[in-house]
Chains A and B, each alone.
Chain A
Amino acid sequence: GAGVSQTPSNKVTEKGKYVELRCDPISGHTALYWYRQSLGQGPEFLIYFQGTGAADDSGLPNDRFFAVRPEGSVSTLKIQRTERGDSAVYLCASSRNGQGDTEAFFGQGTRLTVV
């Protein structure tokens, strides 16, 4: 595709359930980032992949959050035992390289609501 694609666009889940959020980056982009955005806030870093490996997962809030990128392209963010505080828009971004000096292209985000 032409841009970063995220699915689903909206997800409503019950507290305690497991969810998976998918990100399909721009073809050829080696760097992939997950961010979380709460209302009125800037994107908050969660995890960064360079290729297949998680180069930096220091932003993951706790061990309920996990992400994979097995083939260096599509990534899945996984949240176990969801809590109401996990409700936010989850944004994925990709960039051509992982040097932090090129544009990061964002997806539309997945709005997660935990009820």
Chain B
Amino acid sequence: GENVEQHPSTLSVQEGDSAVIKCTYSDSASNYFPWYKQELGKRPQLIIDIRSNVGEKKDQRIAVTLNKTAKHFSLHITETQPEDSAVYFCAASGARGSYIPTFGRGTSLIVHP
């Protein structure tokens, strides 16, 4: 089955800095890569996703890049704000016979004012 590795587990930045979170996946047939943000005590919520026919996607301060050859994808947050502080999870799914999103272990992002 699919295996997703996520790094770093904790990321501490100053407000206004950029933050990058990286994930790798094992199943080359996976074709859908969502990113979820989970605030303390709340449900995971989708912030951005990318499909395998696209190499990069951007939404305001958030961008995701995908390298299919290397089987890794990254989340980039620019001009970080304290409200960006949360746990971020990457996931991979959509492979033939593997329709179940497999999640990384999460990255705790702390943005210091």
- Give residues in A with beta carbon < 8 Å to B: 4, 31, 33, 35, 40-45, 48, 55-56, 58, 91, 93, 98-109
Asked if residues B100 and A41 are in contact (CB atoms below 8 Å), the reply is no
Are A42 and B89 touching (Cβ within 8 A)?
A: yes
Given A31-B99, A45-B102, A100-B32 contact (CB < 8 Å): yes
Could you pull out 12 A-B pairs where Cβ atoms are within 8 angstroms? A41-B105, A42-B103, A43-B103, A45-B101, A45-B102, A48-B99, A55-B99, A99-B94, A101-B51, A106-B36, A106-B43, A107-B43
List the 7 closest pairs (A to B, CB-CB), nearest first.
A100-B99, A100-B93, A42-B103, A100-B94, A101-B32, A101-B94, A106-B43
Is B99 within 8 A of A98, CB to CB? yes
Do A106 and B44 touch across chains, with their CB atoms under 8 A apart?
Answer: yes
How many chain-B residues does the 8 Å CB contact rule pick out?
Answer: 26
B111 to chain A, nearest CB (A): 19
A42 touches B32 (CB 8 A): no
Cα of A40 to Cα of B42 in the assembled complex, Å: 14
Chain B hits for A41, CB < 8 A? 105-106
- Neighbouring A residues of B74 by C-beta, 8 Å: none
Task: Determine if B43 and A99 form an interchain contact, defined as CB atoms under 8 angstroms apart.
Answer: no
